[in-house]
Amino acid sequence: MLLRFVFTTALFFGGCAANVLAVESSPSSAIENHEIHLPCLHSGSIHQNTDQSAFLTVNFAVTNNTLFANNNPIFPPSIPMRLNARRYRELDKSDADIPLTFSLDVKPFLSHSGNTFLLKITLLDLLGEPAVTDTVAIDLLQDSNGTLDISRIRLDPTHGSNRSWQLKYWRTRVNECLIAMKNSAMSSFTRPSERPPCSHHHHHTHPSPYMTTEPANNNPSTSNSKSGTSAFSSVSIYKSHHRFHHGPHGHHRAYYRYLRQAILPGVLGMTAALIACGVGFVVGKVSISLYLHFKDNKERAKKRVKRRDVEYGDADEKQRLLIVSRGTM
C-alpha cells in the first residue's frame, strides 16, 4: 500500500514537471489565431447584391514577430499589399476565396511596458473601394525583447463614399501644419552645436523601432516581410533626413513658414470679425427700421380715430344742437 502511494505521488510530480518543461521549452513565437467576421458592403464589387448577410472571415496571428492575416504578412508590410479572405453566404451556404488589397495606418507609441503600435487596417477590393463595413484596429505590444503580441482588436465603422474624406483631408492638413510649426520652432531654438550634422548623401539609415527583430528563416514569407519593412521604413528615413537638409536658406524658410502660420490665423480672425460686425450692423438697422415703421403706423391709426370723433361727434350732441336752434327760431 505504501509503495502504491509513493508510486502514484512520483507519477503526479513527474507529470507536473513534464508540463512545466514543455511550457518553458515552447517557442516564444507561439501562434494565437484571432478570427473575426466582417460584413460585406452591399454596394461593394465583391458583394454583387446577392446576399445581405455575406461576410468575410479574417484570421489574425503573430508568428516570428510578424502580424499575419490569413497567412499574408500585414506588419511589417510587404509589397504588394494583398491578401485573400474567405467569403461566406448564408443564402446558398457557399464560400469562396476573394482577393483583396488593404490600406495600413501605423502609429507608434511608447509605454512603460514597451512599444505599442496602433494599426488600422481597411480591406479594399481590387478597384480600391472599401470591401467591408468595418475597419480593423489592432494594438500590437512589443516588449523589451522585441516580441510582438496582439493586445486588443476592435472594429470601427468604415466610411463609404459619402464624401466624408474631405473632413479627414482638412484634418490631416491641419495636423501637418501644426507639426511643421513645432519642428520649425524647435529647430530655431536649438543651438548650432546641438543640431544634427547635415550630409549630402542619404545612404545611412537609422534603426526603426519595429525592425529590432527579424523573422526566422522557417517562415515562407520572411523575405517579403523584410523587403516590405525596408520599403516601409525608407519613407520615414527620407523625411527625417530631408527635414534638416535645407542648405543655407533653411533658417529663412523655417522663419517664413512660422511667420505664415502665425499670420494666417490672425488674418482669418480679422476677416471673421469684420463679417460679424457687418452682419450685426445690417441686422440692427433692419430691426430699428421695422420698429419705427410699426410705431408710426400705430400713431397714424390713433390720429385717424380722433379726427373722426371730432368731425362727426356723438348722436346726443347733435340732438342738443337741433333743439337749441329750434328754440331760437
The pLDDT tens digits for 138-188 are 888 888 787 888 888 888 876 544 444 444 445 666 766 777 787 777 776
- The Cα–Cα gap between 257 and 60 comes to 44
pLDDT for 152: 86
**If you average pLDDT over residues 54-74, what whole number do you get?**
87
Name the percent of the chain lying above pLDDT 70.
Answer: 51
- Pick the more confident residue, 243 or 259: 259
Q: If 0-12 CB within 10 Å is exposed, 13-18 middle and 19+ buried, where does residue 104 land?
A: middle
Whole-structure pTM value: 0.39
End-to-end CA distance of the chain: 160
Tell me: the pLDDT tens digits for 20-60? 444 343 333 344 678 888 888 765 555 555 566 788 888 88
∠ CA 98-103-108, nearest 5°, is 135
